[in-house]
Amino acid sequence: MRFRPKRPARENATRLLPRLAAKFFRAGDASVEDDLHSEEVHDFRIRAKRFRYVLEYFRPCYGKALDAYLEAVRGLQAALGDLNDCHSTRVLLQHLLHTGNPPTRNQKLLGALDRRENDLFEKYRAYWHETLESPEYREKFMRYLTHPPRQPPKKAVHAAKSEAAA
Amino acid sequence: MYEQVNPKLDLLTYRAGIVETLLRDMAFSISQTLEKPDENNVHDLRRLCLRLRHAVRLFGPLLPPRQARKVQRRLQVLQDLLGEVRACDVALATIQQPEVASASSKLETKKVAAALAAERRRGLRPLRARLRKLQHSDAIGRWRARLVAG
């Protein structure tokens, strides 16, 4: 996407984020359809992370309501992160145990990691289905990204607070 | 994290605010990690490094291309070094999870943990050297001049 550098950040955000969100949902749907060791799951983990980074960069352009959506993406990332931690541990141990002095084969440990990876994949799938799959949720999220509520000017907030205090 | 950046600014100024925030946090995190290269500090610095790389890539069209590429290369080297140490920390934590630890004897788990700790120490040496170099050469200051002022 081409940025409009001279235009306000908020305007750029409302053009960029809905497109990224659409891609995020499409990639997520593909990742839960596939099996654990597919490229889709790994690619999606990276995509989800980047999506969250962009949401965070433009967080000041949206209201506090963005935090709830950010939390949902963070939850997803946590599930994918646990899965990746387990996978990278297995890969590292396979390398370390086979090249160690003396070389050993702790098959029980590697087997346990394999089982844990499968469990975590199921957890991730469940999270996706429960939290991010509903069309209503997606529509609301996309609408919010495209048309964030105008944040009231600071003076108005101050006036409202003093009124409430009185 | 970026609350102080004003959303009403034009994107050019806004992205400078984002990059500036990341660079400031990174300078702090580098000194923290040099002082105490424990699991948390290494993790924090790695996260910042990932974020900064991403920001430089995302806002790439708004940055001086040669300078951005240079910074990207330096960050990639740092991220690889951090990744090696982080992988050991993650593995150490994972093998101690009850679901995993129960599969092998305490002695076996201890042996694996010792191998991982040794691997971490090996990974830490080049990382510390790189961090010291970044700090002594005021790399963050130069990156700021290239990316924020550029």
Label residue A49 by pLDDT band (50, 70, 90).
Answer: very high
Q: For chain A, what is the mean pLDDT?
A: 86
Nearest Cα to A86, choosing from B100, B130, B44, B35?
B100
Cβ–Cβ gap B103/A111 under 8 Å: yes
Q: What is the pLDDT of residues B107-133, one digit of tens each?
A: 888 989 999 999 999 999 999 999 999
Residues A111, A109: Cα–Cα separation, whole Å: 5
Q: What is the pLDDT of residues A129-141, one digit of tens each?
A: 999 999 999 999 9
Q: What is the pLDDT of residues B54-94, one digit of tens each?
A: 999 999 888 888 989 999 999 999 999 999 999 999 999 99
Residues A52, A1: Cα–Cα separation, whole Å: 17
- pLDDT greater than 90 at residue B106: no
Label residue A41 by pLDDT band (50, 70, 90).
Answer: confident
Q: What is the pLDDT of residues A96-146, one digit of tens each?
A: 877 665 445 678 888 899 999 999 999 999 999 999 999 999 999 999 999
Residues B42, B93: Cα–Cα separation, whole Å: 14
Cβ–Cβ gap A85/B61 under 8 Å: no
- pLDDT greater than 60 at residue A54: yes
More confident residue, A160 or B48: B48
Predicted confidence at residue A88, as pLDDT, reads: 92
Contact between residue A94 and residue A135 where contact means Cβ atoms under 8 Å apart: no
Q: Give the mean pLDDT of A5-20.
A: 94
More confident residue, A82 or A152: A82
Predicted confidence at residue A148, as pLDDT, reads: 86
Q: Report the residue of chain B nearest A2, measured CA to CA.
A: B61
Predicted confidence at residue B3, as pLDDT, reads: 76
- pLDDT greater than 60 at residue A155: no
Predicted confidence at residue B108, as pLDDT, reads: 85
Nearest Cα to A116, choosing from B149, B103, B45?
B103
Question: Does the CB of B96 have a partner CB in chain A at under 8 Å?
Answer: no
Largest CA distance in chain B: 60
Q: Which residue has the tokens 């050469």?
A: B137
Label residue A161 by pLDDT band (50, 70, 90).
Answer: low
* Selected residue of A17, A92, A94 to mutate for chain B interface (largest B Cβ count, 10 A): A92
Question: Does the CB of B19 have a partner CB in chain A at under 8 Å?
Answer: no
| Domain A9-159: CATH superfamily, name plus number | CHAD domain (1.40.20.10)
Predicted confidence at residue A55, as pLDDT, reads: 96
* Selected residue of A51, A59, A109, A145 to mutate for chain B interface (largest B Cβ count, 10 A): A109
Q: Give the mean pLDDT of A136-163.
A: 74
Domain spans of chain A?
9-159
Predicted confidence at residue A105, as pLDDT, reads: 60
In chain B, residues with a C-beta closer than 8 Å to the C-beta of A56 are 1-2
